[in-house]
Structure 1
Amino acid sequence: MNPADIVITDGEFARFQEFFYQKTGIVFGDTKRYFVDRRLADRIVTTKTGSFADYMTALRFFDPRAEELQNLINTMTVNETYFYREEYQFRCLVNAILPEVTHHRRREEPLQIWSVPCSTGEEPYSIALYMLENWHEVDDWDIRILASDIDTRVLEHARRGIYDARALQNLSPAARMRYFTRTGEASWQIVEDLRNSVEFRKTNITCTADMRRYRDMDVIFCRNLLIYFDDASRRRAAEAFYEALRPGGFVCLGHSESMSRISSLFTVRKFQDAIVYQRPM
C-alpha cells in the first residue's frame, strides 16, 4: 500500500485532532490538514494497519507500551532551531536574571535551568555556551541544565550533539573551534564536557506525572511551544511552570508569546534586553 492511497475523511481528521490534543495538548488547525494527513498515512502504511479506523484502534487498545504513540508524536512534531536563536534572551539571562537569582543564594545551592522543548539540543547547549562565554561567575556555582522534549528522536540527536553549518551559523569561529570538533566535511560535534553538562529527558508537559519531576527551577526557557496550544492547554502549562519554579524564578517565552494573555500567576519583568515573567517571591 502507498501512503497516497490513504484518504483521511473530515470526520477522521476531527477524531485525530481530539486524540492528539488529549495526549499532547497540541492543537492542529485546519491549516495543518495536509501535513497531518500525509504523516498519518505514512504511519498507517508503516504499521500495516490498512485504514485510519484500524490504526486508531491499534493506538488505543494494542499499544500497551505506547511505542506507536511515541512514533506518531515523533512524526507529528516539528523541530527547527539553531544556536543562539533569539540571543537577546541569553544576554538577559547573564546580565539581569542570574545576578538577581544569585543575590541571596548560598553558593552550595544549585542553580537549575530548564529548556523545554529542547528539540535537537541547540537551546540548552546555547545556554551553557553563553554562560561560559559571558557570565563571570559561571565557575562559582553548581549549574544544572535540564532539557526535555516529547520527541524521543530529537533527544537522541541532542545527546549526540552533532550539528551542521546552518545550526552553527550564529557562533563565532573562535567559539566553534573552542567547543566543537569536526566530524565530517560539514558537521561538528559539541565537546564531551558540554554534552555531559546537560541532562536530557523525555517529558510531556501536559502529563502531571512528568511535571512532578521538575521542582525548584530558577529559570525556564519555553520558547515557541505555547503557540501550538489552545487557551486551556496554555493555562495548564503556565500553572505547571509556576509549580516547577522556585519563588522568584523566571520564565522566558518566545518573542510572539505573552504570559500576560495566558495567566495572572506571573509578574511581568521588563529588563534592558528582554521581557520575561517571574513567579512572585
Structure 2
Amino acid sequence: MSDTDPQGLSPEDYAILCGFLRERTGLSFTEAKRYFVDRRVAARMQAVGATDLRAYMNLLRFQASGEELQRLVNLMTVNETYFFREKYQFDCLVNSVLDELVRGRPKGSRLRIWSAGCATGEEPYSIAIMLLESWSRVDDYEIELLASDIDSAVLERAREGIYDERALQGLPAHLRAKYFQPLRGAAAEWGPRWQIVEDLRDSVDFSLVNLADPQQVRGFRGIDVIFCRNLLIYFDDLGRRETASMFHDALAPGGFVCLGHSESMSRMSSLFVPRRFPDAILYQKPVDGGAA
C-alpha cells in the first residue's frame, strides 16, 4: 500500500491480511469489504509509521503487548445496537426459558447468562432490566451476568453506561426514569445523555474476550443462556461452526443459545436442538450433552 496506489492493498496483500484477521479473531472480510478494510489499515499504518504491509504485519504478529492488533480490531468491528433490540427474545427468556432452567433447582443456586459480543452494553443491561421487571423469581437465585467483546474501546463505554437518545429509543419512559440518570453540563455537551444507575452497572461483569481464542473462552463454563445476536454474520462458515462448538462446550447441559433473527443454528451445527417457545426460537444443548 502506498500514497500512489489509490486501490489500497493489492489482492495478494488483502488476502494475507484477511487470512491473518480471520485466524486471530474469527472475523471474515470478503472482497465486498475491501474499501472498509483498506481505509482502516491505511490509517493504522500511517499512525505507526509502517512503510508497507510486510512491516505492519510483522508488528501485528510479533508485538509482545498486542496493542496494535487490538487497535486494528477496534477499528474493524461494527457495534450497532440499542436497548431492547429484538425484545421478543428477552420476553422469551423471562416468560419461558428461565422457569424451565430452574425447575428442580434449589433456591439460591446460580444462573449464568452470557452476552457474547455485547458491544457498548445495551444487551446485557437490557437483560438485567428484564429480569428485574418481568421475572418474579429473580430474588430466589444467584444470577451472574457476563458480557464480553473483542473491542476494548466499546467495553470501556459499556462499563461507563452512558447512552444517547438513539440507544434509548426502544425503552419505555418509565424504565428510563427508573434505571437512568440524565447527565448535565460537559457530559451532555454533544446532546442529551443518560447514565444507567450504578447498581445495574455493577451487576454486569464485562471482559475482553476473543471468541476465536480457546484460551480466552476457557473460563466460560456452566453457562445457562448465551446471547450471541448478529455477531456470527461477520464470521465465515468455518468460524461459525467453530463458535457453535465452543458455545456447546461452554453451556451447561440443557442450556440455550439465542441468535439474531437472521441467523440459524441448524445451518452451523447439529449439536443443538431447536426449541420453539411462544415468543421466540432458541437452540438448546441436549441434557445428555451429546449431539441432537
Shorter chain as denominator, the TM-score bin is over 0.9
Q: What's 2:80 paired with?
A: 80
- Alpha-carbon distance in 1 for matches of 2:34, 2:4: 15
- In 2, the alpha carbon distance for the partners of 1:187 and 1:5 equals 42
Quote the Cα distance in structure 2 between the aligned partners of 1:256 and 1:11: 32
Residue of structure 2 equivalent to 1:176: 176
**Is residue 18 of structure 1 aligned with residue 19 of structure 2?**
yes
Describe the SS at the equivalent of 1:120: coil
Report how far residue 4 of structure 1 moved.
8.6
Change (3 A) 1:68 1:102: same
- In the alignment, which residue of structure 2 is the partner of 1:124? 124
Aligned counterpart, 1:278: 284
Query: What's the CA shift for 1:49?
Result: 1.2
Task: Tell me the TM-score normalised to structure 2 length.
Answer: 0.93
Which residue type is aligned with residue 202 of structure 2?
Answer: N
Output one character per residue of 1:19-64: Cα deviation in whole Å (capped at 9) or x when no partner: 1001011110011000000000000011111222211122223x11
Question: Given that residues 4 and 41 in structure 1 are in contact (C-alpha distance below 8 angstroms), is that contact kept between their aligned partners in structure 2?
Answer: no
Check the 8 A contact 1:3/1:38 in 2, yes or no. no
The CA deviation string for residues 107-142 of structure 1, in whole angstroms up to 9 with x for no partner, is 221111000100000000000011111111112211
Q: Is the 8 A contact 2:13 2:53 kept in 1?
A: yes
Distance 1:214 1:29 in 2: 30
Instruction: Name the aligned partner's letter for residue 34 of structure 2.
Output: R
Q: Who is 1:190 aligned against?
A: 196
CA distance in 2, matches of 1:241, 1:132: 26
1:109 corresponds to: 109
Provide the residue aligned with 1:246 in structure 2: 252
Q: Does 1:263 align with 2:247?
A: no
Matches within 5 A, 1:55-66: 55-61=56-62, 63-66=63-66
Gaps of 5+ in 2: 288-292
Structure 1 residues not aligned, in runs of 5+: none
| Corresponding residue to 1:199 among 194, 205, 217 | 205
Separation in 2, partners of 1:175, 1:3: 51
* Alpha-carbon distance between aligned partners in 1 of 2:231 and 2:144, rounded to the nearest angstrom: 22
- Check the 8 A contact 1:269/1:275 in 2, yes or no: yes
CA RMSD after TM alignment: 1.4
How many residue pairs align between the two structures? 279
Q: Which amino acid aligns with 2:56?
A: Y
In structure 1, how many angstroms separate the alpha carbons of the residues matched to 2:5 and 2:226? Answer: 44
The amino acid that maps onto 2:9 is I
Give 4+ residue runs of structure 1 displaced > 6 Å after superposition.
Answer: 2-6
